Amino acid sequence: RLAAQDVVLTIHPELAPWDMLFAQGEAYESLSDDERSPVEHHLTEIKVVLIKAMLSDHLPYLGIARDWFDIKDLIAILAKRIGRGKIGGKAAGLMLAENILRKSADGELLKNLRFPRSWFLGADIFNQFTQLNNLVGFANQKYKDERQVRKEHPEIQREFQRGTFPEDILTELRGLLEEVGNSPIIVRSSSLLEDSFGTSFAGKYESHFCPNQGTPEENFESLLIAIKRVYASVYSPDVLLYRRSVNLTDYDERMAVLIQETTGRRRGKTYFPDAAGVAFSRNQFRWSPRISRSAGFLRLVVGLGTRAVDQIGDDYPRLVALSHPDLRPESSPRDIHRYSQAELDLIDLRRNSFSSMAIADVLQRDTPHLRWIAQFYEQDDLQDLVSIPLNWDPKKLVVTFDGLLRRTAFPEQMRRILDCLEKAYKGPVDTEFVVMLEDGEGPVPVPVIYLVQCRPQSHLISESYSIPHDVRPEHRLFLSTRMVPDGCITDIRYVVYVSPETFAQLENQATKVALARLIGRINLRLKDENFILIGPGRWGSNNPDIGIPVSYADIYRARALIELASGERAPEPSYGTHFFQDLVEAQIYPLALSMNHPEDEFNRDFFDHAPNALIKLLPEETIWESVVRLIDIPAATDGRVLKLVMDGDEGQALAFLDIPDS
């Protein structure tokens, strides 16, 4: 054993070769506690230098990571890395979370906690690829105007697909696939900016599943295509405009890649996990005052987790408040049936592709652990699957997760995982996970949780406000009573409004996409004004038939975004999706309201008949005047402005005409 005086640091860690740093670090960590104490600061410096070079140089991350990584942990990461650059924000966050949980969670929790097999492509390979294929000129895309960025991106994608990798990288990627075998994998972005404190870039870059069921050469080609698609997404309009909005345009962005084994189970010709979702350690949007904000929140689906984070449209995950897992937003079996998951995402092993299929076509009578995932809906009632008749009708299945949430340890496991991570992060966290149900000793299955991502949770900066009760009826413009946060927006001058009927009359999806771009131009022109957006269905949906398909770049200057339903029940705001996280990060308040619900209010007469100022703002947009109403509140109300007060404890958000603060 070396004595402390034999391993006093005599090198400058920032200038030393990595081999020397690893050897010195291992020597320090081999010391007894008494011997190690005098050189602990040297060990910390070595770890910080290595973490900065291998994982992330963001100071908030370093302040946490240096306390949780040992030298052997960094060596293990090195063994799974191709290239020499950083492994990027997403991979760095996952590795940090894994070390936090392995070293702070108790044995009972760790027994059923897993982490997927992961490999890393260093960010230096992105530089090699762009230089080898003469793609470095695209680095200045970030300084071009929005129209150029959008117009040129398809050609950039094609140029990247035509590119080739250095031979040594190709050899290592072939070795990676040999190690993977025939397991499906996902190729995920892990840019240097991604998943950092304050700017998550949630869902901005691309990720792609590789089913890995073809010939070795087909699988290899599929992997290369996926990596190149991730690389090209560095220059996507959504990424570049997001960077512009958060003052990161000048950053020299580079893309690392995280390759993970996809957790799931083969079921005939399909492959998917029992459940997956996103979990937040803090819950800002409650549907009952009984729910604790500090106990956490889940967005839970059966199948691959893509359906939990994307704006799917007329399909609904199970929302879970971890303080009261059985307390649902819906109040009746009919509502639970109506607002439940209709399709699941999976790997189609026969077609060697990612696919979405109807629940009734996938979940079968012999599906393992079905009773813990779903119930029967019959005669306006939900029934547990105690016994399943031979002549059952799979169309009566409703994904509720009631068995998983009420009769297994899963909710408590998730609470404890989130508590451990939040304590180490010294702030709320946002995670993605997968659940596999394994047979236990008794009739109740054991939930095994795979953590696949962790980052700081974006949250609204808010304080408590009370709804005023002296507002004159004619001054009340709308009232929302569903999943309301705390907050207040004053001096709102403009409302951008699209009615459900007008939207429904648009002739095709291309017109709806063009409408989204118009919203983006309004967003740009109103950059110095307080304005809110009110529109039908799902803002940001990937299905233009059920909502305006805006991206973050189209709406990031708005102060609030209201999802308007024409039925009796407004859908929950898309809490937990990547789009929703963008809103929260930008301090844009999301609300949902129904024009026909007895507890909600919507002053339809005002919004339909107030003067339309669209052409005054954008004279060239005359074709949209009958579709989009831009209401100049002071001009329409003799100098008043709109004020929006949100009281999360009371579950109400009231927008009313008010005297300007100024």
Rounded to 5°, the CA angle 4-5-9 comes to 90
- Give residue for tokens 């077609």: 351
Mean pLDDT (10-residue bins), the chain, 662 residues: 54 80 91 89 93 93 95 96 94 96 93 96 96 95 90 95 97 96 95 76 86 95 97 92 85 93 94 95 81 88 90 77 88 84 94 93 87 88 78 86 95 96 94 94 93 86 79 93 87 95 89 93 92 90 83 89 73 64 79 85 94 96 95 95 90 92 69
Q: By three-state DSSP, how is residue 250 classified?
A: coil
> Residue 309: what pLDDT?
82
- Structure tokens given for 529: 């004004």
Phi–psi pair at 267, nearest 5 degrees: -130, 90
CATH code of the domain occupying 266-456: 3.30.470.20
Distance CA 475, CA 647 (A): 19
Q: By three-state DSSP, how is residue 184 classified?
A: coil
Distance CA 311, CA 588 (A): 17
Q: Give the number of other CB atoms < 10 A from CB of residue 248.
A: 17
CA torsion angle 183 189 194 200 (round to 10):
-70
Q: By three-state DSSP, how is residue 463 classified?
A: coil
- Structure tokens given for 168: 């040594």
CATH label, 119-261, candidates 3.30.70.1380, 3.30.1490.20, 3.40.50.300, 3.40.50.9100: 3.30.1490.20
- Structure tokens given for 298: 């889940």
Q: Are 527 and 554 in contact (CB under 8 A)?
A: no
Strands (E), 290-428: 297-301, 318-321, 343-348, 353-358, 374-378, 381-383, 397-399
- For the chain, the first-to-last Cα distance in angstroms comes to 72
Q: Are 264 and 273 in contact (CB under 8 A)?
A: yes
Q: By three-state DSSP, how is residue 605 classified?
A: helix
Q: Are 117 and 181 in contact (CB under 8 A)?
A: no
> Residue 146: what pLDDT?
85
> What contacts 394, CB < 8 A, 6 or more positions away?
359, 360, 361, 363, 364, 365
Distance CA 325, CA 602 (A): 32
- Give residue for tokens 């900016």: 193
Q: How many C-alpha atoms does 462 have within 13 Å on its Cβ side?
A: 25
- Structure tokens given for 224: 């290369």
> Residue 246: what pLDDT?
80
The answer to whether the predicted template modeling score (pTM) of the entire model surpasses 0.85 is yes
- Structure tokens given for 345: 């995402």
